[in-house]
Amino acid sequence: MQPLGPAWVEVDLDALEGNMRRVRRLIPRSTLVMAVVKADGYGHGIREAAAAFLAGGADWLGVADLWEAEELRRANIDSPILVFAPAPKLEKFSLSLNVRSTVCDLETARALASLARRHGKKAKVHMKVDCGMGRLGVLPAQAGDFAGQLLRLEGLELEGIYTHFSQADDVRRTRRQLAVFLEVLSSLKARGIHIPLVHAANSAALLRFPPSHLGMVRPGTVLYGQGAPDLFPTWRLKTSVVYARVLPRGHRVGYGGEWKASRPTLAGVVPMGYSDGLALEPQRSPLRQLLGALQGFVCARPAGWTSGGQVFFLGRTSMNMASLSLPKNYGEEAVELVARRTTISRRLPKIYFRDGRPCYAIQDGSRWSIIERDGVYFRLGRLPD
């Protein structure tokens, strides 16, 4: 048996599927759901997240680029996939994966159409309109001419049109952006242009602004347990404490000595750092410093918790280590850290749970059967992909 390592991610597959079912109940049955699984399924594992969401009722999948789409196709996932980022000069790759491409410029659209004609196929595309995000998409005033040019390209099928909200938790701003998008659709209708699939709502708009649901919604963060109180938690980052001791009053910790103990403090070291995705600098807002001072810390910031209570980062995070304050009644249990899921290193093993029990792990790109002994996970045999 080989230990998985001192730090790991726990993913609840039942929670992913359950959140999808809850989202499905929030919208009309006629409205399609595109589950967004970009950035390795928001750190959960793109294959596992996609399979769980499809089992929970998702109709489509959304990915950032063609390489993510390829990974899903290699996993024998054959559902419709929209690639959000345009892919100039990669038209052949796109066509071979049978995905829907986002188009924002004629040059890419023409290249894709030409390739599709040569292979006797139709390349399905979704046209993106920039209604205020300022990132990708044709401007609203140009949308009518652009759509007309796309429809004249033999080998291309204009299947969808969409936009993206820049601040979907602000209903007034979302209402303004949606009004711009709907005006684009009206102008297309006046030209006799009908595009079958219309979509705009991300997670926040789906939850807060039902008029944005249209023909399809694109939930992302909400599927991973964020943004609504009745969702299931799906992801936990845990690590062992490899060294602990009581620091005397006045002792400093970390590069630059930015944290100083204002009282004797039980401090521990965990084998994770900024190379694993943890933040480098302490938070320096006045409120954070005030809260830290009230708790006897200087430049401390919340890190996570154990069964004994909350823990804090002490000073700067190093490359492979971080220092934490530990509660007085800390035992030897793992610490659960709060971290941005998409920044956590894919080198960390992921342990997948069903019915509250660990069923397998992914490490070094392979699936492993596992066993837990005294709080430590060990990998056994390699499993087929």
- Residue (of 92, 69, 87, 65) closest to 79 by Cα position: 69
Rounded CA separation 107/91 (Å): 11
The amino acid at residue 89 is: K
Six token digits for residue 62: 């959304």
Q: Are 187 and 197 in contact, with CB atoms under 8 Å apart?
A: no
Six token digits for residue 172: 């007034």
Q: Is 260 a catalytic residue?
A: no
Q: Looking at 38, 128, 238, 350, which residue is catalytic?
A: 38
Q: Are 235 and 11 in contact, with CB atoms under 8 Å apart?
A: yes
Q: Where are the alpha helices (DSSP H) in 132-218?
A: 143-151, 171-190, 203-208
**DSSP run (H or E) holding 50:** helix 46-55
Q: Are 381 and 369 in contact, with CB atoms under 8 Å apart?
A: yes
Q: Tell how strand 335-337 and strand 300-306 pair up.
A: antiparallel
Q: Is 255 a catalytic residue?
A: yes
Q: Looking at 121, 189, 243, 255, which residue is catalytic?
A: 255
Rounded CA separation 3/309 (Å): 27
- Residues annotated catalytic, as ranges: 38, 255
